[in-house]
Structure 1
């Protein structure tokens, strides 16, 4: 999560984490279902790996939440991240 005066930026992975907790699914099981490494899943959840359209489709199949939702969430996250970082940089000047 990134913060600035105007923004609190939460990665889409926070929503993934909540859904996994709600379903009682471990990261290991989720990684296997997604056909991804646990390391990549951890990066995805922490916002260190970008959520690609291909990943969004896999999420739709595994979690039952539309790929469009995931793609929009990622786009909003990346936009707010840029704005928050720019605002933080401006505050340092």
Structure 2
């Protein structure tokens, strides 16, 4: 399962919810694939977060699982947004670690960079 993490964000793919719903419905991935008209491989990739949950698949899930397409679309949108937040936060952390040896406080005293004590502001 493709779960992305940073210090404050976690991005969980919609497939995790699909997997839980399948368990509640006592349905296998194979059965879901057949009922959605998709390959078992695609369902496996969807559940593992390797392919996006498209609007077409959301409508099919609504028909088969009786959960509105808007719910599935919302999960996918939230997942994609969370991935971006995780990536952004992790890149800031990398930049902070890169900048530490340069002695930001000394550079600020020399007027080369603005004074701030917040590490995230020091790399922006």
If the TM-score is normalised by the length of the shorter chain, which range does it land in?
over 0.9
| Coordinate RMSD, CA, aligned | 0.9
Secondary structure of 1:47's counterpart equals coil
Residue from 15, 20, 29 that aligns with 1:27: 29
Q: Which structure has more helix as a fraction of its residues? A: 1
How far off is 1:90 after superposition? 2.1
**1 CA distance for matches of 2:65 and 2:11?**
23
Gaps of 5+ in 2: 96-124
Instruction: Identify the residue that residue 91 of structure 2 maps to in structure 1.
Output: 89
The 4+ residue runs of structure 1 with deviation greater than 6 A are: none
Secondary structure of 2:34's counterpart equals helix
How many residues matched?
93
Question: Using CA pairs below 8 Å that are at least 6 residues apart, which structure has the higher relative contact order?
Answer: 1
